[in-house]
Amino acid sequence: MQTVTERFLRYVRFNTQSDPDSDRTPSTENQLVFLKELEKELQSIGLADVRLYKEGIIFATVPSNTDENVPVIGLIAHVDTSPECSGENVNPRIVEYDGGSIILNKKENITLGPDRFPALNNHIGEKLIVTDGKTLLGADDKAGIAEIMTAIEKITADQSVRHGKIRIAFTPDEEIGKGTDHFNVKEFGADFAYTVDGGEVGELEYETFNAASAVLTVNGVSVHPGYAKDTMVNAIKIASSIISELPEKESPENTDGYSGFYHPVNIEGGVGKVKIELIIRDHNNDIFGTRKQFIKELSDRYNTLYGAGTVTLEMKDQYYNMREVFNDKMHIVERAEFAMRRAGITAKIQPVRGGTDGSFLSYIGLPCPNIFAGGINFHGPYEFIPVESMEKAVETLINLIRTD
């Protein structure tokens, strides 16, 4: 029987970055390589109905070992890592943390310290798994996978832990918003589920942003600069002006809690054409609508200034705040609170400042809060996870599914 740490260290060596520009499902072949490994491992543990679908989703079952009439519970995590930072050749190591800065890469002078990352101060005296400063770690969400696998191996081996039927799902492409595009809720067959995809110990979330993406394409006129007078329309300057009109205080780096934002995530092009990619986020649905209208009016205004067709806008909703789903289903959240309390943890209920597979699943009939996996500083080379946090997650999951 492997420990959660052993599993995690093995999993992160699989490069499973998703690709937002791919037209295949899953978006990268490497995700399927890892999924096939998980398929074999689920079978070796003794789970039933293990099935890997061509779309890159695994379903599996832990059969009930009780005659009690209890709900079918699902546990879900995603296999892909963020395309924002390399996930190739991840080189993790365990550090006994006694405070101060950790040298991640001596040659390149890359350090992880509490001056920039004060969360480290909460983990003095613990064993931290860190990167070598060149890649992300992959705790988002291979920690969740390792914790689910370890928990189900434990309860499968120890029949004294009474539980109902448990359904397991591992999904691809969560980081690019496509993780549940092919998720068959009816076939999954759970009454409710939990994504194991949060951060610090105790995190419990059933509120997410409402989310939209927007692509503004600025169409300029490119001519030789020596003959540009009264002819050139510089798309770069127009794009810069558009971005400058986004409220500075309503950006990710200046907001927290329930405050929403506008966030330019990519810009590319030249004098003749520039494409701006934005994401729009807010927990409040009315304000979310106002934010989308602001972007539309911004686009319209620049077309008035520079001529029709100068700016084209493609905007689409991505997911919605799942809070409304839980108005009459708070027992699902309370069950997670109790499981944490039983593990000696005080639940930290807070809104998700991002997305989760659970948001979409909740809206298509599978209520699905998000619970902690233990990772910190996701999506970059300063990512780390305490071993003790993963062990607490395993204990919480066992408490979550047991019937006694």
Catalytic center residues? 80, 174
Specify the 3-state DSSP secondary structure of 211: strand
Please compute Rg for the chain using Cα positions.
Answer: 23
Neighbours of 378 (CB within 10 A): 24
Element at 244 (helix H, strand E): helix 235-244
26: which 2 tokens?
């899953």
Contact present, 311 and 348 (Cβ < 8 Å): no
Q: In 108-234, where does DSSP find H-type helix?
A: 139-157, 185-188
Q: Give dist(CA 222, CA 228) in Å, integer.
A: 8
Contact present, 338 and 399 (Cβ < 8 Å): yes
* Alpha carbons within 13 A on the beta-carbon side of 243: 21
DSSP single-letter state for residue 49: E
Contact present, 242 and 313 (Cβ < 8 Å): no
Contact present, 140 and 375 (Cβ < 8 Å): yes
Q: Give dist(CA 319, CA 31) in Å, integer.
A: 23
CA-nearest of 348, 329, 373, 395 to 12 is 373
